[in-house]
Amino acid sequence: MSSEEDKITRISIEPEKQSLLDHHTEKHFTAGEIVRDIILGVSDGLTVPFALAAGLSGANASSSIVLTAGIAEVAAGAISMGLGGYLAAKSEADHYAREMKREQEEIVAVPETEAAEVAEILAQYGIEPHEYSPVVNALRKNPQAWLDFMMRFELGLEKPDPRRAFQSAFTIAIAYVLGGFVPLFPYMFIPQALDAVLASVVITLIALFIFGYGKGHFTGSRPIRSAFETAFIGAIASAAAFCLAKVVQH
């Protein structure tokens, strides 16, 4: 809910009820985004370092080399996903600001066209001109509300929270590091990579199942199926890495 909407007098909903709804929606929205970022980071973090380590182990590298490659990859991946996600979010915020400015200019310069666009949006739902005209006219009299309406219903853009870019980047990066740590853990204690890889496979498959189950639970899809799908991706990725590493090594 944008702050512009907060300023608009709500006539039909009691203020206390509305503010409860707003608060509930905002909390729900942010919690959902944090969960999504954790899922994003852990998904790749559990899978790629695991596959890389397994591939190198199969190519007869030492645990030392596997750990070197693994930790380097986790750092690089966390930075790439984290910083990349941050810049992407900032870019979206800039995009929103630009679109809003343009929409604002159109409302001032060509109000008839903008009013026709509102009409078109509502007409798609089988609403007839005599039914939607009062709505169009109400919006025309309230430029701020009209702008919010166009941003939301014509362009489908939500006003981005400036703090979310940083939060999101940080969450994804940390999640990636924690995910990546799991498969690399055995290599820190078992000097023979071909021994360590067995422990790594067991630990990581269990982690993938648990994580996949949790992912399914949190996103409301079938947790058992999600657990198997997640473990499957890890298995495929490590099989591919294993085979390619052997091929490259001849």
Can you tell me the distance from the alpha carbon of 238 to that of 105, in angstroms, rounded to the nearest whole number? 53
- Is residue 19 a contact residue for a copy of itself (CB under 8 A)? no
What are the DSSP calls for 192-245, one per residue? SHHHHHHHHHHHHHHHHHHHHHHHHHHHTS-HHHHHHHHHHHHHHHHHHHHHHH
Q: 46: which residues sit within 8 A by CB, 6+ positions away? A: 179, 180, 182, 183, 204, 207, 208, 211, 234
198 vs 221 by CB, closer to a copy of itself: 221
What residues numbered 64-103 form the site for a copy of itself, per CB under 8 A?
A: 64-65, 67-69, 71-73, 75-77, 79-81, 83-84, 87, 91, 94-95, 98
- Is residue 220 a contact residue for a copy of itself (CB under 8 A)? yes
Can you tell me the distance from the alpha carbon of 41 to that of 20, in angstroms, rounded to the nearest whole number? 32
- Is residue 61 a contact residue for a copy of itself (CB under 8 A)? yes
What residues numbered 228-247 form the site for a copy of itself, per CB under 8 A?
A: 229, 233, 236-238, 240-242, 244-245
Can you tell me the distance from the alpha carbon of 102 to that of 170, in angstroms, rounded to the nearest whole number? 32
Residue 114 has phi, psi (to 5 degrees) of -65, -40
Phi-psi region of 60 (alpha: psi -120 to 50; beta: other; left: phi over 0): left
Please state the closest distance from residue 243 (CB atom) to a copy of itself, in A.
8
Q: Which two tokens stand for residue 37?
A: 């970022």
- Is residue 175 a contact residue for a copy of itself (CB under 8 A)? no
Looking at residue 155, its amino acid is L
Can you tell me the distance from the alpha carbon of 46 to that of 202, in angstroms, rounded to the nearest whole number? 13
Please state the closest distance from residue 163 (CB atom) to a copy of itself, in A.
20
Binding region for a copy of itself (CB under 8 A) out of 9-17, 165-173, 192-200, 201-209:
9-17
- Is residue 155 a contact residue for a copy of itself (CB under 8 A)? no
Please state the closest distance from residue 57 (CB atom) to a copy of itself, in A.
10
Please state the closest distance from residue 230 (CB atom) to a copy of itself, in A.
8
- Is residue 26 a contact residue for a copy of itself (CB under 8 A)? no
- Is residue 3 a contact residue for a copy of itself (CB under 8 A)? no
- Is residue 205 a contact residue for a copy of itself (CB under 8 A)? no
Integer CA distances (angstroms), 37 to 83, 173, 196, 202, in order: 13, 9, 30, 25
Q: Which of 34, 35, 115, 145 binds a copy of itself (CB under 8 A)?
A: 145
- Is residue 25 a contact residue for a copy of itself (CB under 8 A)? no
Please state the closest distance from residue 109 (CB atom) to a copy of itself, in A.
20
